[in-house]
Amino acid sequence: GAGVSQSPSNKVTEKGKDVELRCDPISGHTALYWYRQSLGQGLEFLIYFQGNSAPDKSGLPSDRFSAERTGGSVSTLTIQRTQQEDSAVYLCASSWDRGHNEKLFFGSGTQLSVL
């Protein structure tokens, strides 16, 4: 596609529910990243994919968070049993490969609100 696409753009959920956030990277980009942007906080790294594998998932805040990538393309970030502190903008980015990852292309994000 023309850019990184994320869906939904907004998600409101109740505490305790599970949510799935989707990212479609730019076609051909092998590296994919998830970041979280909380109010008053910087962008927080969550997980990095190279192809379908995740060499670095050190930023996932708890075992309620998981992510997968299939076909070297689409990625899904899943948050189980959501808590209010999970409310944030979840950003996905992609790049050609890890050697050029300063040239990240970001999506517009998913605004998650947990009530």
Partner 1 sequence: GNSVTQMEGPVTLSEEAFLTINCTYTATGYPSLFWYVQYPGEGLQLLLKATKADDKGSNKGFEATYRKETTSFHLEKGSVQVSDSAVYFCALIQSTGFQKLVFGTGTRLLVSP
Could you say whether residue 105 binds partner 1 (CB under 8 A)?
A: yes
Site track for partner 1 across 57-96, x = CB under 8 A: ----------------------------------x-x---
Provide the 10 A C-beta neighbour count for residue 41.
9
* Residue 75 and residue 25 in contact, taking contact as beta carbons nearer than 8 Å: yes
Distance CA 83, CA 94 (A): 27
Strand order in 75-79's β-sheet? 5-7, 19-24, 75-79, 65-69
Could you say whether residue 103 binds partner 1 (CB under 8 A)?
A: yes
Distance CA 84, CA 76 (A): 20
Could you say whether residue 28 binds partner 1 (CB under 8 A)?
A: no
Q: If we measure between CA atoms, which residue out of 35, 38, 44 comes closest to residue 84?
A: 38
Could you say whether residue 102 binds partner 1 (CB under 8 A)?
A: yes
- With CB under 8 A as the contact rule, the residue among 56, 57, 66, 96 that binds partner 1 is 56
Name the minimum Å distance from CB 31 to partner 1. 10
Could you say whether residue 98 binds partner 1 (CB under 8 A)?
A: yes
Could you say whether residue 101 binds partner 1 (CB under 8 A)?
A: yes
Name the minimum Å distance from CB 21 to partner 1. 14
